[in-house]
Structure 1
């Protein structure tokens, strides 16, 4: 049974505050690993970088050949550019056909980029070409994208290419008009190369760093989820053990109350008889709770599943909750629309009970429960006119032991609600209403409740 938690008192300054717990870090079974997601994004960045390199080389070759009048070996240089285009097309096709992009693939395309740069420099003056400093751009990209060993391999390739270009390259015949101004021409080339390096570094390193930060953020969220799920498992073990231990004393109490009901002194006293009946009802409910805990702990979805519909499930939940809490005023609206078959889930029923209990404790005079459909999701909203959520509760919504009740060990109710809904692939949103009170909205994907769906909320 889920723990109960009452919304904390909120002041008027946070009426529009809200907390949303999403399953963004909960990886589906078929989702690619987080590192692979970053590799795919980085491969796309390299593809974009290579397209820019192709366009930049074409512009540079045209400017040098026709603007400066320096003859270049156009055919082989165009062949290198064509090879870069083929590498880009092959990389894009690989992305479309394969889900996994390994670090080795990033290393391979980075090596091809170094070879292409070396070939172009060899054809256009070798180490004397001011664009030779583009090697530093390749090394910088490798340092961000690859591991240390692969980065040093790119460094070694770049160094080897530079050394080779010092001694072996295709000399360029310079027109006579540049004989006395070669240094100025070289400085101009270095300036253009510097601008290209700086611009590409700012654009692509920023985007690559953003990809890596997103990956680290998702990893941190997964670690937090793993800690919370371990906490849920331990709570489940404790709850199951407590249920076993409570079985015997509850049975003894039931027998004792049965004996009291038959005692003449109590039967003659109407007030005492009524109290004994209420005690017997409470004990019966406690035994039912214990039984539900044990069944939930030992029953897997698919073993004698309870097939029902959305409307029937919600009606049963509302009827059961009202029966156990007759003093609470509950307004129920079903706006789901066309009914759908689902598998009844005891755990899902308990989390709805939990949210309704929280609202009833904060606002016994009025609790609203609304069910609706938003595309492929079941949306359950529970509202009240109580004091609302305190800022610290909203800021740490879904964390264990966040309670306003002032008792140690409390505050597990919403924590378990969030974890169960997240396991189902849904979201939980808590917010304070504009006028008064609070609302908790559960958004559950219908596919997770469909017949034949795997049981996530164990």
Structure 2
């Protein structure tokens, strides 16, 4: 599965945010200048606000609001907002202006929607703007002489804003990236489950077709046998009748196989199957000639039923166990061993390979999306283990990962269900 695209936001979202900023700026200027009577360069400040509004109108008219803009366009959009705020603060006191905190708003927005490179660029632009505003600015609007704050205080404001900018970018981007990764991984898991459900539905359709076709095919066979008895040996149609009888018998054999093979059928007769048979059915599609897959099963301890517990044949188990076995086969040197054990309290499937085992650095992270030692190689995205764990946990299983000690090492994946069900099948 190819990597899902990152970034992108609706143009209307950024346009509405900017309209809110323009309205807030205009209201603040009106209150400060006319309400409080503080003097300020109204024309320059008003022109800067009007430029932002004009750009918003141009963008809104030129493209539909539902259009999505890419990472680069969104970064340019937010960069303009940073520069516009920097010009307004330059005209109204620089970092002494209490509204200098608004410089953090575009950075916070960008952290949730932009790529890492674009966030770094916006962060640097903001820090440079803060530094310049600390050195160059017009007097703060005030009645009488503006307050004269100590240089050390202004340096503290500069340092605080710069550090906050970097922290917002770092934590905001990281949290948003994890959310995007989880959404992508869940989408991949749902796609895998949907594929398995389609296969299950196809198997059920085959079983239903076998059942429905059984009766008419039996009638055809009976009629054919009657024709064989009545037709003469030298009749030119006898060869066709014998061919018809052979082909009808062949059809009956195929339908019988579809009706009685639980590994290839998910009809109602095989909704509940013995756990070892279910595990073998899930793993059989991932066998390789050079890798031997050995199956073991049996009770664990004394006083345990010798008959295997039954398990619901579900797409989650088929896909989850299949992914684990596929992963083990891809890393194994010669053999993968699949062991099924049970007691009265639990049933467990353990998949062990003779490969290099899980990396100790990644062992604690296994089961989270986009974690793999092969990520980016051969199309691997680090989603196989996540999909398997997610699907199996939906069935009530507990999935654990570890490494085998001794005997050349190897990876061990354990899947355990509590409260197994024992009954004759």
Fold shared, TM-score > 0.5 on shorter chain: no
State the TM-score, normalized to the length of structure 2: 0.41
State the TM-score, normalized to the length of structure 1: 0.38
Greater RCO structure (CA 8 Å; 6+ sep):
1
